[in-house]
Amino acid sequence: MSAKKLLSAALCVLLVALTVCAGLPATAADERIGSAIWSVEAFTVGGGFLVEPTELPIYAGENAADQLLRLLRQSGLVCYFGGTADDAFYLAYIADGTSTRAKFNRYSGSGRPQNARELRLSPSIPAVLLPHLRDTMVFFDPDDYEKNWTGYLGEFVFTNGSGWMYTVNNDFPGVGFSDTFLSDGDVVRVQFTLAYGADIGGLGATGGNAPGVGNQPASGYYPVANKDALCKTICKALSAGSLSGGETKNAYADALAAMAAPDASQDRVDNAARALADALSKPSDVPPPPKSDEPSVAVSSAVTSEPSAPSETVSASAPPVSEPPDTPSEPPVSNPPETPSTPPEPDTPGDANDPPVPVSDAALSVADGILRWKKAENGSPADGFLLNDAFLASAGSTAGDWYPIGLDRLGISDNFDGYLAVLTDRIEERYREPGRLSAAKATEWHRIALAMLAAGGDPTHAGTDENGNPIDLIADGTYDRGKTAPLGRQGLNGWVWGLIALDSMRYDVPADACDTRDGMIAEILRQQLPDGGFALNGTEADPDMTAMVLQALAPYRDSDRVYAEAVKTVPDAIEDALACLSALQLDAGDFASWGTENVESTDQVLIALCCLGIDPLTDARFCKNGHTLLDGILRYRLPDGGFAHSFAYDPNNPTASPGESNAMAGEQTLLAMAALWRQQNGLHTLYDFRPEEDAEPQENATVRFDDADREAADSLPDTLTTAYEATVTSLLDKLLRSEDFDGKAAYLQKLTDAKATIAAIRAEIDALNAEIRETLYPFDRLTVRDRETVDGIFERCMALSEYDRTQIERFDDVQRAKTQIDGALRGRLLAVVLCVAAAGIAFCLVRRVRKRRKRRETEREELAARYETGEEP
Amino acid sequence: MKKDILAVLSVLLLLAVVVNGTDVQSIDEYYLTHIDDVTPESETVTISIRCDAVLDHYDQLDPALRSDEFVPPDGVILPPTEYVLREGDTVFDLLDRAVRYNKIQMEYQGSDQNGFGSVYIQGIHYLYEFSCGPYSGWMYRVDGVYPHYGCSSYVLRDGQVVEWVYTCDLGRDVGADWLGGQGK
């Protein structure tokens, strides 16, 4: 510890003290406009009042979130919340006041209060709740709090449907704390729910559609009494402080018992309130106990809830599908933590009496919702391109390629030219690496080939390789894949997607190819399981794998050929696989894969049926309990238009949010909607990219490098960063294809230079990342001798633009290494300086001492001389 | 005289010792360079990396990797090692730190490059997915449980134990029972 450090610490303390002092008078100056009674209740877990009913002043301009934060602070507790007090405040956890975490599960903490206290919960869930929870909850563990959450009570504790909700005057507000402004005399009860409010009379408040909420009985678990009056009376009793008198004591105990019973009848609650009020009005027989100096706090309950999802959507009645309402008719309660600011635009709520919407329109509208969500996520305006420059960065990856496929198959135009330009660039780049697109996975070629077709390109001429030959993704990725690595190296997926890619344009397989079409079909058929299904491995069918096999085999469904010994014909194999899938379908119309109910499996089955020419909405084999595949898919739709992968909650990983819109769920549902829309409109199946029979032959329209393009090129900054990679690539591609115009050469020069500059930056980033990995670690081996290397890396990082520097992996480690070496160097320098100084001082000292001695000697001699002369006058 | 010189020298010596043993740093610098120091108060997590399963499936292994250099004879690529838990650390952050500090090769696909929205570990120590058969690749468990989530979505807590294990059979050979009863 250096002295500097101590000094800084002292300064910090001083500063904090000053800040605190300065902050104090502010609140007091605000105008008080009334008071509300607040309580914080954990009765559903047998935890009583976390904050007993208390009167809390309301200051002008203060919303319920401000009040709640104040209440908890003065009660010595901490809360963790999403949003801010002013906007989209979401109460996620109430925690021990001693909790020192700045954040908990991504939620911000309210800071340690002065009189911090612990929750001290020993939960015991009332018996009346247990059977309901066991029946309706995906996850329920009565010991969860002690096991995983001690000191933190909030969302996902005990069940997948738990969290904090609140009532104002016994009404669950349709909005969050930030948007609630209280009036004098309001009673606010913040209550812990285990079941989306079904246990506290507030199920409707969650919009009825939080993940898994469909399992809850519509009217809640039992009727829940209005306990506001009781709460008020308890508040009065507490502030009167006279609870020890015999009658009062009993009445108070009864009142608490009525509060604590989740299903207490209204009569019982009213009687308890009346009895307590009566007891209080009588003169007490015992002097009131001294009031504790801990301010008791009143809390009202605001209900925060799960993000509300669309209500169970479309009733399963087959063909006509009414568009699922995007938002419940009442505004969703509170703010979903993840999507705080932009509520989805309400679609027309599906009314039972509305005329049925044609399926293909329904499919389009679901697809629109997905695109709306994806655009919002992507930073594109709702009417802009999904494939904007930010999106183009993911061209050629699994994150990018499926969306353009979905868009094209839905007949929606977008920035396909830009996508194709960047995709081609990436392919050429990757073809220069040893494994080309991938050493292990042939499916890289298959997905990219489909994306290329969707974007209007030709996968057999996907750019040129280092020798100037055209890159043929179909050959290299399917029938000739075996020249580099077996097509089936990654298992069944390699064969299935190879066949799908090969049949996307019914490409011919040359006679000298490594694998033939028939061979691929035979390989797939060989892997059929005894139950009729298919799986990556193992002996039980997986719905996704089975469905994808059906998509691949669909073109051969009428063939009675025997492809290999001891395998079924394709039609037989298809029938068995369909029977297997039908048996796997769940009651809600969806499927589970790897133990999790999810939307993607359901999407794949729907696509498979469409590829086979089966109407997925009317086929009796795929209608369970009145629920079709589409119903099964729409279960996962969220208010933002996107889709959740699953609503299953994983207690092992409370930080992963199961009910959030998810990229893979969105893209696969987009494809499913495209498959359905194509079927309804009599178009080729999803992965059949051959031109439609009646399609106009495509004209080779001349490309113009128009004003917008020129402006985009002109506005490129002088200092380029890799952020402009996609823009430059797509502009240059367009320019190269465009007809001549004045100044084309100048643009060509500019864009070619820009592309080279960016490529150089990219190379520098890659080199730096490799050097950092190579030279910085382990830190304890770094010495002053490495100074030059580390300084060099640091300076090169700093020479990058701010954007490019974000692509340096672990730049913090570079800083750390530099700091360490600088520190060591400074230490050494200091040591040298001090030593030199000390040596100088020592030298002076010695000289002075010597001088003094010499002087003394001289004096002595003089004295002696004088003495001698004195002796002999 | 001699005494003086002796005194001066000892002062010098003392000074040198003190200066050498002292880091001259600001508080920020101190925290930056000592962030990984395990003290009694620090929250820590433990990580190990193993590839035992490959030893049992050597015949399936890519011939180019059949060497002790890539597959250690005891299957241990990194023995259990304790690291300080930094706020918000995910399983991926911990792995990244461990392989950097120990100079172990690792390749991953960023969360923006796939549809999982999470980092996907393609290879560690030159062992990649599919290097040892079509069901092979890297998996992780935390406190003995295989989560259903990508490693960059799993935020760690104090005291948790992370194990990265190479499977040759979609997890079955390394005790993953998360297949939901599939294909047992």
pLDDT digits (tens, 9 = 90+) for A53-107: 999 989 888 899 999 999 999 889 999 998 888 888 889 999 998 887 877 877 8
Q: What is the structure's pLDDT at A597?
A: 86
Q: What is the pLDDT of residue A2?
A: 47
Contact between B179 and A595 using a beta-carbon 8 Å cutoff: yes
- Of A634, A655, A624, A543, nearest to A149 by C-alpha is A655
The shortest CB-CB distance from A667 to any of B11, B115, B153 is to B115
- Residue A794 falls within a domain, yes or no? yes
C-beta atoms of B12 and A489 within 8 A? no
Which three-class secondary structure state does DSSP give residue A170?
coil
What is the model's pLDDT at position A307? 36
> What is the distance in angstroms between the Cα of B75 and the nearest Cα belonging to chain A?
23
Looking at the structure, tell me whether residues B135 and B77 fall in a common domain.
Answer: yes
Contacts with A439 from chain B: Cβ below 8 Å: 128
Nearest residue of A to residue B137, measured between CA atoms: A490
Q: Please, which pLDDT band fits residue A292 given cuts at 50, 70 and 90?
A: very low
* Both tokens assigned to A709: 């393009």
Is B32–A816 a contact, with Cβ atoms under 8 angstroms apart? yes
A9/B27 Cβ within 8 A: yes
Quote the domain boundaries for residue B13.
2-31
Does some domain include residue B93?
yes
User: How much is the pLDDT for A12?
Assistant: 45
> Are A765 and A814 contained in the same domain?
no
Of A170, A197, A223, A190, nearest to A305 (Cα)? A197
Q: Which of A9-23, A399-413, A650-664 has the lowest mean pLDDT?
A: A9-23
Shared domain for A872 and A802, answered yes or no, is yes
A159 in a domain, yes or no? yes
The whole-model pTM stands at: 0.61
Instruction: Work out the minimum CA distance from B97 to partner chain A, whole angstroms.
Output: 9
Q: Which residues of B touch A823 (CB under 8 A)?
A: 23-25, 29, 33
Number of domains in chain B: 2
Report the pLDDT value the prediction gives residue A651, as an integer from 0 to 100: 52
Please tell me which residue of chain A has the smallest CA distance to B2. Answer: A846
Q: Do A653 and B22 lie within an 8 Å CB cutoff?
A: no
Instruction: Say how many CB pairs under 8 Å bridge A and B.
Output: 176
Count CB atoms within 10 A of the CB of residue A329: 11
- By C-alpha distance, the chain B residue nearest A656 is B153
Question: A489 and A446 in one domain?
Answer: yes
Which residues on chain A are in Cβ contact (under 8 Å) with B12?
A: 835, 838-839, 842
pLDDT category at A210 given cuts 50, 70, 90 is low
Domain assignment present for residue A608? The answer is no
A10 min Cα distance to partner chain B (Å): 12
Q: Does residue A262 share a domain with residue A116?
A: yes
Chain A residues close to B37, C-beta within 8 Å: none
Question: What separation in angstroms does the CA of A387 have from each of A403, A452, A672, A721?
Answer: 9, 14, 20, 20
Query: Are residue B150 and residue B96 in the same domain, yes or no?
Result: yes
What residue of B is the nearest CA neighbor of A778? B101
Question: What is the mean predicted confidence (pLDDT) over A255-272?
Answer: 91
Instruction: Name the residue range of residue A807's domain.
Output: 778-873
Is the per-residue pLDDT at A638 higher than 90? Answer: no
| Among candidates A397, A595, A809 on the partner chain, residue whose Cβ is nearest the Cβ of B178 | A595
Residue A246 confidence (pLDDT)? 73
What are the C-alpha distances in Å from A723 to residues A196, A250, A379, A411, A801?
43, 72, 15, 30, 10
Which amino acid is it at A405? I
Is residue A319, in this structure, part of any structural domain at all? no
Q: What is the mean pLDDT of residues B117-136?
A: 90
Q: What are the residues whose beta carbons fall under 8 Å from the beta carbon of A688, sequence distance 6 or more?
A: A503, A504, A555
Question: What is the least distance, in Å, from the CA of B49 to any CA of chain A?
Answer: 18
Domain boundary among A228, A251, A281: A281
Same domain, A852 and A745: no
Is residue B154 one of the residues assigned to a domain?
yes
Minimal-distance CA residue of chain A relative to B152:
A656
Question: Cβ(B22)–Cβ(A2) under 8 Å?
Answer: yes
Give chain A positions within 8 Å (CB) of B116. Answer: 663-664
Tell me which residue in A542, A653, A834 faces B147 most closely, judged by beta carbons: A653
Tell me which of A835 and A751 has the higher pLDDT.
A751
Which of A148, A152, A374, A398 should be substituted to probe chain B, the one whose Cβ sees the most B Cβ atoms within 10 Å? A398
Looking at the fold, whether A49 and A118 belong to one and the same domain comes out as yes
Residue of A nearest to B17 (CA): A831
Asked if A763 and A819 sit in the same domain, the reply is no
Same domain, residue pair A865 and A734: no
pLDDT, mean of residues B153-167: 94
Question: Is residue A245 in some structural domain?
Answer: yes
Residue B15 placed within a domain = yes
Q: Is residue A669 part of a domain?
A: no
* Across A628-632, A697-701, A778-782, least confident range: A697-701
Query: Looking at A418-427, A588-597, B130-139, which range is the least confident one?
Result: A588-597
Residues 116-135 of B with CB under 8 A from A: 116-117, 128-131, 134-135
Query: What torsion, rounded to 10 degrees, do the Cα atoms A189, A192, A193, A198 define?
Result: -20
- Scanning B28-57 for CB atoms below 8 A from A yields 29-30, 32-33, 35-36
pLDDT at A211: 54
In a domain? residue B177: no
For residue A652, give the nearest of B29, B147, B179 by CB distance.
B147
C-beta of residue A268 within 8 angstroms of C-beta of residue A258: yes
Instruction: Note the pLDDT of residue A175.
Output: 83
Can you give the pLDDT at residue A702?
Answer: 75
Q: Which helix (H) or strand (E) holds A368?
A: helix A359-378
pLDDT for A826: 87
Confidence of residue A657 (pLDDT cuts 50, 70, 90): low
Whether residue B159 sits in one domain with residue B99: yes
CB burial of A518-527 (b: ≥16 within 10 Å; e: otherwise) equals ebbbbbbbeb
Beta bridge partners of A706: none
- Closest CA of chain A from B74, distance in Å: 24
Measured in angstroms, the CA of B68 and the nearest CA of chain A are apart by 22
**Residue of chain A with shortest Cα separation from B122:** A440
Q: Residue written as tokens 């920035």?
A: A415
Task: Tell me if B101 and A779 make a contact (CB, 8 A cut-off).
Answer: yes
Instruction: Provide the CATH number for the domain around residue B48.
Output: 2.170.130.30
User: Which of A397, A542, A818, A843 should be substituted to probe chain B, the one whose Cβ sees the most B Cβ atoms within 10 Å?
Assistant: A397
Specify the pLDDT at position A296.
38
Query: Dihedral, CA atoms, A152, A154, A159, A160, nearest 10 degrees?
Result: -130
Q: Do B102 and A849 touch (CB under 8 A)?
A: no
Q: Which whole number is the average pLDDT over A200-212?
A: 65
Interface test with A, best of B6, B32, B62 (most A CBs within 10 A): B32
The yes-or-no verdict on residue A569 having pLDDT over 90 is yes
Cβ-defined contact of A4 to B27 (cutoff 8 Å): yes
Of A103, A490, A823, Cβ closest to residue B29: A823
Q: Domain holding A181: CATH number? A: 2.170.130.30
Calculate what percentage of chain A has a pLDDT beyond 90.
48
CA separation for the pair A736, A730 (Å, rounded): 10
Minimum CA–CA partner of B123 in chain A: A440
- Is residue A243 one of the residues assigned to a domain? yes
Split into its structural domains, chain A has a count of 4
CA distance B153 to chain A (A): 6
Q: Kindly report, residue by residue over B23-63, the tens digit of the pLDDT.
A: 667 888 888 888 888 888 899 999 999 999 999 999 999 88
**Would you say residue B52 lies in a domain?**
yes
pLDDT value of position B111 = 80
CA distance A480 to chain B (A): 19
Residues in contact with A749: Cβ distance below 8 Å, sequence separation at least 6, in sequence order: none
- Tell me whether residues B101 and A393 touch, CB distance under 8 A: no
Does the pLDDT of residue A744 top 60, yes or no? yes
B164: part of which helix (H) or strand (E)?
strand B161-167
Distance from CA of B79 to the nearest CA of A (A): 16
B141 to chain A, closest Cα gap in Å: 10
Least CB-CB distance to B33: which of A663, A816, A845? A816
- Is the same domain home to B111 and B80? yes
Residues A44 and A152 in one domain: yes
Asked whether the beta carbons of residue B148 and residue A839 sit closer than 8 angstroms, the reply is no
Q: Is B4 near chain A, with CB under 8 Å?
A: yes
The pLDDT tens digits for A605-623 are: 999 999 999 999 999 999 9
**Of residues B33, B101, B112, nearest to A820 (C-beta):** B33
A133 within domain boundaries? yes
DSSP string, A183-208: -TT-EEEEEEESBTTTTTT-GGGGTT
Q: State the average pLDDT over residues A296-315.
A: 35
Span A458-473, average pLDDT:
93
Task: Say whether both A80 and A147 belong to one domain.
Answer: yes
- The answer to the question of residue B182 being in a domain is no
On whether both B146 and B126 belong to a single domain, the answer is yes
- B125 and B161 together in one domain: yes
> Which residue did the predictor score with more confidence, A439 or A584?
A584
Under 8 Å between Cβ of A328 and A310 = yes
Give pLDDT, residue A304. 35
- Indicate the residue among A720, A750, A775 that finishes a domain: A775
pLDDT of residue A336: 34
pLDDT digits (tens, 9 = 90+) for A490-546: 889 999 999 999 999 999 999 999 999 999 999 999 999 999 999 988 888 999 999
Distance between CA atoms of residues A64 and A86, nearest Å: 10
Last residue within a domain, chosen from A775, A803, A822 = A775
Cis peptide before A616 (omega within 30 of 0): no
Please tell me whether residues A713 and A808 are part of one structural domain.
no
Report whether pLDDT(A13) > 50: no
CB contact under 8 Å between A595 and B115, yes or no, is no
**Do A195 and A61 belong together in one domain?**
yes
Q: What pLDDT shows up at residue A828?
A: 85
Q: Examine residue B184 and state whether it is found in any structural domain, yes or no.
A: no
- DSSP at A303: -
